[in-house]
Amino acid sequence: MKISFVGCGNVAWHLAPELENAGHKVLETFSRKAVNAKALALRLYEATPTTSLDFSKSDAQLFIIAVADDAIEEVLKELILPENSVVVHTSGSRPLSILNYIPTHKVGVFYPLQTFSKAKKVDFTQLPILIESEDQPTSKELLKLAKSISKSVKEVSSSDRMALHISAVFASNFTNHMLSISSELLNEKSIDFSLLKPLIIETINKGLAIGPLSAQTGPAKRHDFDLLENHMEYLSNKPELAEIYQIISQHIISTFPD
């Protein structure tokens, strides 16, 4: 397919080259900041960077809106498209209906379920790509496109995608923030954070192997209130961290009652 990217953030940074490597062609890269549009274009074969949302003369068949969730509607208000083009967004949290007022029925969702950072390469072959469209021909096109880069492709409704996105925030974003807190606590004592690496790897591997509920351990699960109190005392000069510790510990205690 001939594709143009509206947005040059982390998702586009990885997805655009992956699609070209699968035989598709990216024609344009849009960003309000010219430097960002050019940076993504330089990762591609012949893409043209642009700061204009007027694509009326474009030869692209598919326009992938890969901007921040809260910027999608603003972009849609200015977007000018050629006739018969397909438009998708890549958001995990925004519904398909956000595209309803685009003057085409060829709209959909193309959501790669993964965390993206420009500095970290992503393997798309096993990466779930979630598709949604109410137009059957468009759905078939998007499924074919997704399967050209991934072995894990699934049609998912907007409500189910929201559930997946919230779950992903807990599993990825919140987990990473907990690691940041761990690192901060150790840095204060000049202790090497890498000492936790085997524990972190085993925790994730075990949770995936036997299920998170079966893998749960720790003082809250075994109702060791003396140790919990000692930990709370250690965190007494960090009230925000103490509150997080208490809330999560209480939730674990409630999940595993006597």
Return the CATH number at 39.
3.40.50.720
- Max CA distance (Å), the chain: 70
Q: Are residues 139 and 96 in the same domain?
A: yes
Based on the fold, state whether residues 82 and 108 are members of the same structural domain: yes
For residue 37, what are its two tokens? 């549009």
Beta bridge partners of 64: 5, 88
Do 88 and 181 reside in the same domain of the chain?
Answer: no
Domain CATH code at residue 212: 1.10.1040.20
- Model's pTM, two decimal places? 0.90
pLDDT of residue 103: 83
Residues 44 and 61 in one domain: yes
Residue 226: give the domain boundaries: 161-255
pLDDT value at 4 more than 90: yes
Q: Where are the alpha helices (DSSP H) in 53-135?
A: 72-78
CB 66 within 8 A of CB 83: no
- What is the mean predicted confidence (pLDDT) over 3-32? 97
* Cα 38 from Cα 113, distance rounded (Å): 26
Tell me how far the alpha carbon of residue 197 is from its chain's centroid.
Answer: 24
Please name which of 256, 217, 218, 249 lies closest in space to residue 232, comparing C-alpha atoms.
Answer: 249
Greatest mean pLDDT range, 3-12, 96-105, 118-127: 3-12
The pLDDT mean for the chain works out to 96
Start-to-end CA span in the chain (Å): 58
Assess whether 178 and 204 both reside in one domain: yes
Please indicate, yes or no, whether residues 232 and 219 belong to a single structural domain of this protein. Answer: yes
Instruction: State yes or no: pLDDT of 258 exceeds 90.
Output: no
**Residue pLDDT, tens place only, 195-243:** 999 999 999 999 999 999 999 999 999 999 999 999 999 999 999 999 9
Q: Which residue type is seen at 73?
A: E
